[in-house]
């Protein structure tokens, strides 16, 4: 175990002494991210998200104050460029349209939503009044458009959060006024309703997507939060094939045979090489993410989720690096195949173009790439999700990595590690 | 005392090609044993099997009692290997290389640091220890390559043609290092195609050709095989035909054997002076210009020539 660790550390040290590798691993993705930031107007402020006209179907069964407020929010000028809402009265029809990929999500506001939040007249101070059952807004998302669906979900989450916040503060204010004698018990009902009415009128304003000077809890989808990991993941494939190449390079330069005649087992050596690739990948993605946070102010979201996602993404990518190495005969072949795979996975996995604009068949095939799963996870994080929401991409990446490790190990087992 | 290394009928085939055809020899503790042979003779394959890198097709060898086929990990702990090609990390410094390889041999902490210092001193690179290996000359790299093999104080050191492609000064330093290590008790298995190195270093020599051990013994024992003879080496011009001259010397009085090699003819006789005049006459008769003539006492080159009909460098 110690030798495995030492071999991995040695490889990490060697990578950081190879200027050409550093250019590809760190500088190239960083500069590409900057370039794409300019192209999309991220640095000029002409675009906040890079996404626009996200089709969303709204079914307002509530037909009361809060349901109407949410519909108004989606139709507000602030969201005019981002979303393209359409109204429907049939939840099933709306879900069907989502299933048919006609829109990114359906927002279904159930009947009684407003009543579940704002007490009915005459019941505010009545301890015997039955409490309304909690009613939830349903966001029926299109799994083929995770980014857009995530934006819609974030808007609704924000609305619900604001409503809840307003309800609690309103209740607290009314009771404080009552306790301090500012209002009489007879005035509670009217003051309370007045506060809730204020809440309804201010909701649409509060539901703006956050701008930089607003600084509240609202959600912003930053285009760099998609592009920076996209580029990092693209070049992560370079890193893992570079690492795989080092296995064959060590064979050619004689250090691998030398390791094999030391009291170090082949499993320890191979394990060390894999660990080295993994460490390098984690360092690369970690540095790029830190750099984009420092230089561009990208908000990466939940640190725990992000760490878990990086580890899983690098694990999955390392599996691909090993598989390429297992099939290749020499270091040059690894480089050639690795570069091709890097570009193919970049396109397929959404590093260059958002997968949502790709045909369903491409979206299906993209699932073989670590890029697609990891980008899905990074998007979730950027939209405010946490570790709990990353279960699917993380598990998929771990299964991908483990499967590829096993296949590669079998191929390595059949091929003599020292054969020239 | 049992030999420290014992090789029995060791064979290695690559498909239909037999690289090593059942070699058998042993090495006593404290001995320098050279495997002498031309390129492609099977020296590196033999050392690769003994160092457990390649599994033998047949046969076995034991080192300090451990079988290379049944207990390779134990063998690896008692041997040091200096491969023919430089096997170092060029982007690491000499010290970093030695530290890493020391760790692979189970050394750690202060013991490792002090052993690395000792080895750097031994190979004369203490002052340059912090420079990356890629900045070193070929000779310096060779010295670090040897240093790695010495880190864990192995009982048997395998050195596979360690002087190939280096300058005479570095070569001298390496030969002196080998002798010094041997004086301190280290057993050395040395492979080379340089007859002079085998002669200078070895207690015993095994001559290997086409995967077979064709002669084995001390230098005296080996030279005795060719008898009390001298070898007259005639260096010819590029356009001259050594075969024709060698044939013309058949049957000439006192000529025991005449062997044509690349632009040379080796004439074996009991006394070189006795045949010199006849050889020059024969060459003149055929219009062959002799550029120079060497007379050699019996040596390992002559033994190889005698046994194979070819020069070592062929």
Residue ranges making up the domain that contains A27: 2-41+221-418
What is each CA distance from A199 to A115, A165, A169, A190, in whole angstroms?
14, 10, 10, 14
Read off the pLDDT of residues B193-222 as tens digits, 9 standing for 90 and up.
888 899 899 999 999 999 999 989 998 888
What average pLDDT does range B97-101 have in this prediction?
96
Report yes or no: B286 and B245 within 8 Å, Cβ to Cβ. Answer: yes
> What is residue B313's predicted lDDT score, i.e. its pLDDT?
61
CA B84 from chain center: how many Å? 10
CB-based contacts of A56: which residues, under 8 Å, 6+ apart? A74, A83, A84, A85, A86, A103, A104, A105, A106, A107, A152
| DSSP line for A333-385 | HHHHHHHHHHHHHHHHTTSSS-GGGS-HHHHHHGGGSHHHHHHHHHHHHHTT-
What average pLDDT does range A351-374 have in this prediction?
83
For A39, how many CA atoms within 13 A lie in the half-sphere containing its CB?
9
> What is residue A397's predicted lDDT score, i.e. its pLDDT?
95
| B256 lies within 8 A of chain A by CB | no
Quick one: A280 and A378 in the same domain?
Answer: yes
Quick one: A236 and A171 in the same domain?
Answer: no
Please tell me the distance from the alpha carbon of residue B41 to that of residue B36, in angstroms, as a whole number. 9
Out of A190, A212, A234, a domain closes at A212
Interchain CB distance below 8 Å, A263 and B104: yes
Distance from CA of A82 to the nearest CA of B (A): 51
What average pLDDT does range B101-113 have in this prediction?
93
CB-based contacts of A6: which residues, under 8 Å, 6+ apart? A272, B100, B103, B104
Residue B42 has pLDDT above 60, yes or no: yes
Edge-to-edge strands, sheet with B58-63? B17-27, B5-14, B58-63, B66-67
Report yes or no: A222 and A298 within 8 Å, Cβ to Cβ. Answer: yes
Interchain CB distance below 8 Å, B77 and A263: yes
Provide, as residue numbers in chain B, all residues whose Cβ is less than 8 Å from the Cβ of A264.
Answer: 104
Residue A174 has pLDDT above 70, yes or no: no
Please tell me the distance from the alpha carbon of residue B109 to that of residue B79, in angstroms, as a whole number. 22
Report yes or no: B208 and B43 within 8 Å, Cβ to Cβ. Answer: yes
> What is residue B32's predicted lDDT score, i.e. its pLDDT?
95
Please tell me the distance from the alpha carbon of residue B246 to that of residue B279, in angstroms, as a whole number. 9
Please tell me the distance from the alpha carbon of residue B249 to that of residue A382, in angstroms, as a whole number. 92
> What is residue A188's predicted lDDT score, i.e. its pLDDT?
57
Provide, as residue numbers in chain B, all residues whose Cβ is less than 8 Å from the Cβ of A14.
Answer: 89, 91-92
What does the block give as tokens for B248?
């013309």
Distance from CA of A415 to the nearest CA of B (A): 13
CB-based contacts of B47: which residues, under 8 Å, 6+ apart? B35, B81, B158, B160, B189, B191
What average pLDDT does range A265-272 have in this prediction?
88
Quick one: A36 and A120 in the same domain?
Answer: no
Residue A335 has pLDDT above 90, yes or no: no
Please tell me the distance from the alpha carbon of residue A355 to that of residue A144, in angstroms, as a whole number. 8
Please tell me the distance from the alpha carbon of residue A379 to that of residue A222, in angstroms, as a whole number. 9
Q: Which of A101-105, A132-136, B95-99 is the most confident on average?
A: B95-99
**Domain for residue A143, yes or no?**
yes
> What is residue A50's predicted lDDT score, i.e. its pLDDT?
52
Sign of CA dihedral B165, B169, B175, B178: negative
Residue A216 has pLDDT above 50, yes or no: no
Mean pLDDT of chain B: 89
Distance from CA of B72 to the nearest CA of A (A): 9
> What is residue A211's predicted lDDT score, i.e. its pLDDT?
30
Residue A141 has pLDDT above 50, yes or no: yes
> What is residue A369's predicted lDDT score, i.e. its pLDDT?
92
Interchain CB distance below 8 Å, B83 and A254: yes
**Domain for residue A365, yes or no?**
yes
| B99 lies within 8 A of chain A by CB | no
Read off the pLDDT of residues A5-39 as tens digits, 9 standing for 90 and up.
999 999 999 988 888 888 877 887 777 777 766 66
Please state the φ and ψ torsions of residue A51, each to the nearest 5 degrees. -105, 145
Residue A169 has pLDDT above 60, yes or no: yes
Quick one: A171 and A237 in the same domain?
Answer: no
Quick one: A35 and A101 in the same domain?
Answer: no
Least confident of A46-60, B36-50, B99-113, B165-179: A46-60
Please tell me the distance from the alpha carbon of residue A223 to that of residue A270, in angstroms, as a whole number. 39
**Domain for residue A49, yes or no?**
no
Quick one: A411 and A273 in the same domain?
Answer: yes
Q: Does B297 or B257 have the greater pLDDT score?
A: B257
Nearest to A308 by CA among A364, A409, A404, A385: A385
> What is residue A207's predicted lDDT score, i.e. its pLDDT?
34
> What is residue B220's predicted lDDT score, i.e. its pLDDT?
83
Residue B295 has pLDDT above 50, yes or no: yes
Which helix (H) or strand (E) segment holds residue B285: the answer is helix B272-285
Please tell me the distance from the alpha carbon of residue B62 to that of residue A379, in angstroms, as a whole number. 61
Please tell me the distance from the alpha carbon of residue B54 to that of residue B48, in angstroms, as a whole number. 6
> What is residue B43's predicted lDDT score, i.e. its pLDDT?
93
Which helix (H) or strand (E) segment holds residue B190: the answer is strand B187-192
> What is residue A394's predicted lDDT score, i.e. its pLDDT?
94
What is each CA distance from A37 to A30, A209, A371, in whole angstroms?
11, 20, 19
Q: Does B97 or A18 have the greater pLDDT score?
A: B97
**Domain for residue A48, yes or no?**
no
Read off the pLDDT of residues B134-163 as tens digits, 9 standing for 90 and up.
999 888 899 999 999 999 999 999 999 988
Please tell me the distance from the alpha carbon of residue A109 to that of residue A112, in angstroms, as a whole number. 9
CA-nearest residue to A8 within chain B is: B100
Read off the pLDDT of residues A51-76 as tens digits, 9 standing for 90 and up.
677 888 999 888 888 888 888 888 88
- Total domain count for chain A? 2
Distance from CA of B109 to the nearest CA of A (A): 13
Q: Which residue has the tokens 């902490």?
A: B109
Which helix (H) or strand (E) segment holds residue B258: the answer is strand B255-261
Residue A304 has pLDDT above 80, yes or no: yes
**Domain for residue A273, yes or no?**
yes
Quick one: A205 and A269 in the same domain?
Answer: no
Q: What is the dihedral of CA B96, B99, B105, B108, to 10 degrees?
A: -150
Provide, as residue numbers in chain B, all residues whose Cβ is less than 8 Å from the Cβ of A253.
Answer: 85, 87
> What is residue A395's predicted lDDT score, i.e. its pLDDT?
95
CA-nearest residue to B152 within chain A is: A262
**Domain for residue A47, yes or no?**
no
CA–CA–CA angle A132, A125, A187 (5° rounding)? 130
CA–CA–CA angle A128, A130, A135 (5° rounding)? 155
Read off the pLDDT of residues A376-418 as tens digits, 9 standing for 90 and up.
888 888 777 788 888 999 999 999 999 999 998 888 877 666 5
Of all residues in chain B, the percent with pLDDT exceeding 90 is 54
Quick one: A404 and A264 in the same domain?
Answer: yes
Of all residues in chain A, the percent with pLDDT exceeding 90 is 16
Quick one: A32 and A111 in the same domain?
Answer: no
Interchain CB distance below 8 Å, B53 and A418: yes
CB-based contacts of A133: which residues, under 8 Å, 6+ apart? A112, A116
Report yes or no: B278 and B253 within 8 Å, Cβ to Cβ. Answer: yes
Provide, as residue numbers in chain A, all residues whose Cβ is less than 8 Å from the Cβ of B77.
Answer: 263
Exposed / middle / buried, residue B253 (Cβ in 10 Å: 0-12, 13-18, 19+)? exposed
Q: Is B22 helix (H, G, I), strand (E, B) or coil?
A: strand
Please report, for the domain that includes residue A177, its CATH number.
Answer: 3.40.1710
Beta bridge partners of B156: B79, B187
Residue A209 has pLDDT above 60, yes or no: no
Out of A212, A234, A256, a domain closes at A212
* Rg, Å, chain B Cα set: 22
Interchain CB distance below 8 Å, B88 and A257: no
> What is residue A299's predicted lDDT score, i.e. its pLDDT?
75
**Domain for residue A27, yes or no?**
yes
Candidates B51, B54, B91; nearest CB to A17: B91
Out of A185, A212, A239, a domain closes at A212
**Domain for residue A233, yes or no?**
yes
Q: Which residue has the tokens 């024992």?
A: B221
Q: Does A185 or A272 have the greater pLDDT score?
A: A272
Quick one: A121 and A190 in the same domain?
Answer: yes
What pTM does this model have?
Answer: 0.70
> What is residue A217's predicted lDDT score, i.e. its pLDDT?
36
* Rg, Å, chain A Cα set: 27
Provide, as residue numbers in chain A, all residues whose Cβ is less than 8 Å from the Cβ of B52.
Answer: 260-261
Q: Which residue has the tokens 């296949």?
A: A407
Quick one: A111 and A241 in the same domain?
Answer: no
Q: Which residue has the tokens 């990929």?
A: A101
Candidates B87, B91, B96; nearest CB to A258: B87
For B107, how many CA atoms within 13 A lie in the half-sphere containing its CB?
20
Please tell me the distance from the alpha carbon of residue A302 to that of residue A300, in angstroms, as a whole number. 7
What average pLDDT does range B121-126 have in this prediction?
89
Mean pLDDT of chain A: 78
Of all residues in chain A, the percent with pLDDT exceeding 70 is 76
Residue A204 has pLDDT above 80, yes or no: no
Contacts of A199-206 spanning 24+ positions with Cβ under 8 A: A199/A163, A199/A166, A199/A167, A199/A170, A200/A65, A200/A66, A200/A69, A202/A166, A203/A66, A203/A69, A203/A70, A203/A72, A203/A73, A203/A159, A203/A162, A203/A163, A203/A166, A204/A69, A204/A72, A204/A73, A204/A76, A206/A162
Please state the φ and ψ torsions of residue B269, each to the nearest 5 degrees. -150, 160
Sign of CA dihedral B99, B103, B106, B112: positive
Quick one: A187 and A61 in the same domain?
Answer: yes
> What is residue B182's predicted lDDT score, i.e. its pLDDT?
93
Read off the pLDDT of residues B228-274 as tens digits, 9 standing for 90 and up.
778 888 998 888 888 889 898 888 888 888 888 888 898 888 888 88
Interchain CB distance below 8 Å, B87 and A254: yes
> What is residue A46's predicted lDDT score, i.e. its pLDDT?
47
Candidates B85, B92, B104; nearest CB to A3: B104
> What is residue A134's predicted lDDT score, i.e. its pLDDT?
63
Report yes or no: A196 and A118 within 8 Å, Cβ to Cβ. Answer: yes
């Amino acid at each position: 175990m110690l030798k495995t660790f030492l071999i991995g550390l040695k490889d990490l040290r060697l990578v950081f002494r190879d200027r050409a590798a550093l250019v590809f691993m760190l500088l190239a993705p960083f500069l590409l991210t900057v370039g794409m930031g300019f192209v999309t107007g991220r640095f000029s402020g002409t675009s906040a998200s890079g996404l626009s006209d996200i089709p969303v179907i709204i079914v307002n069964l509530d037909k009361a104050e809060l349901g109407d407020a949410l519909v108004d929010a989606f139709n507000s000028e602030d969201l005019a460029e981002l979303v393209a809402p359409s109204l429907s009265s049939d939840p099933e029809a709306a879900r069907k349209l989502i299933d048919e990929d006609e829109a990114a999500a359906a927002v279904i506001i159930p009947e009684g939503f407003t009543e579940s939040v704002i007490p009915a007249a005459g019941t505010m101070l009545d301890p015997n009044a039955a409490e309304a059952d909690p009613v939830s807004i349903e966001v029926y998302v299109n799994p083929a458009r995770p980014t857009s669906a995530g934006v819609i979900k974030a808007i609704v989450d924000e609305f619900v959060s604001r409503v809840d916040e307003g309800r609690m503060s309103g209740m607290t204010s009314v009771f404080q006024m009552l306790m301090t004698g500012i209002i009489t018990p007879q005035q509670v009902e009217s003051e309370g309703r007045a506060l809730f009415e204020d809440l309804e009128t201010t909701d649409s304003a509060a539901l703006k997507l956050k701008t930089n000077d607003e600084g509240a809890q609202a959600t912003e989808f930053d285009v760099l939060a998609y592009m920076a990991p996209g580029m990092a993941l693209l070049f992560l494939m370079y890193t893992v094939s570079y690492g795989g190449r080092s296995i064959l390079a060590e064979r050619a330069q004689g250090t691998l045979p030398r390791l094999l005649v030391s009291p170090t087992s082949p499993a320890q050596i191979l394990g060390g090489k894999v660990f080295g690739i993994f460490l390098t990948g984690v360092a690369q993605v970690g540095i790029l993410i830190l750099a984009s946070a420092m230089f561009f102010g990208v908000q990466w979201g939940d640190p725990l989720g992000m760490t878990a996602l990086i580890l899983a993404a690098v694990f999955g990518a390392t599996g691909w690096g090993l598989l390429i190495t297992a099939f290749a005969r020499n270091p040059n072949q690894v480089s050639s195949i690795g570069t091709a795979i890097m570009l193919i996975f970049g396109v397929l996995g959404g590093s260059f173009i958002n997968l949502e604009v790709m045909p369903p068949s491409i979206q299906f095939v993209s699932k073989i790439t670590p890029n697609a799963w990891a980008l899905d996870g990074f998007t979730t994080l950027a939209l405010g999700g946490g570790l709990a929401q990353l279960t699917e991409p993380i598990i998929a990446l771990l299964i991908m990595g483990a499967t590829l490790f096993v296949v590669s190990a079998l191929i390595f087992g059949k091929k003599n590690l020292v054969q020239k | 005392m049992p030999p420290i290394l014992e090789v029995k009928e060791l064979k290695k085939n690559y498909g239909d090609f037999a690289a090593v055809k059942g070699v058998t020899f042993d090495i006593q503790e404290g001995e320098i044993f050279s495997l002498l042979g031309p390129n492609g003779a099977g020296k590196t394959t033999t050392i690769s099997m003994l160092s457990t890198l390649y599994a033998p097709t047949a046969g076995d060898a034991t080192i300090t009692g451990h079988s290379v086929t049944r207990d390779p990990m134990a063998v690896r702990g008692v041997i040091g290997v200096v491969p023919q090609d430089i096997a170092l990390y060029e982007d690491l410094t000499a010290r970093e290389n030695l530290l890493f390889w020391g760790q692979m041999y189970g050394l750690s902490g202060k013991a490792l640091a002090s052993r690395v210092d000792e080895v750097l001193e031994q190979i004369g690179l203490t002052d340059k220890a912090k420079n990356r290996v890629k900045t070193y000359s070929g000779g310096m790299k060779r010295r670090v390559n040897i240093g790695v093999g010495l880190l864990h104080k192995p009982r048997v050191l395998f050195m596979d043609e360690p002087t190939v492609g280096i300058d005479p000064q570095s070569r001298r330093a390496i030969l002196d290092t080998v002798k010094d290590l041997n004086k301190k008790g280290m057993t050395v298995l040395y492979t080379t195609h340089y007859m002079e190195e085998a002669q200078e270093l070895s207690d015993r020599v095994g001559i290997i050709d086409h995967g077979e051990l064709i002669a084995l013994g001390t230098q005296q024992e080996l030279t005795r095989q060719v008898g009390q003879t001298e070898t007259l080496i005639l260096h010819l011009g590029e356009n001259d035909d050594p075969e024709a001259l060698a044939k013309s010397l058949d049957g000439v009085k006192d000529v025991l054997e005449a062997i044509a090699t690349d632009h040379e003819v080796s004439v074996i006789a009991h006394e070189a002076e006795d045949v010199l005049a006849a050889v020059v006459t024969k060459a003149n008769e055929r219009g062959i210009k002799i550029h120079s003539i060497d007379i050699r006492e019996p040596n390992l080159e002559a033994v190889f020539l005698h046994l194979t009909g070819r020069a070592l460098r062929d």
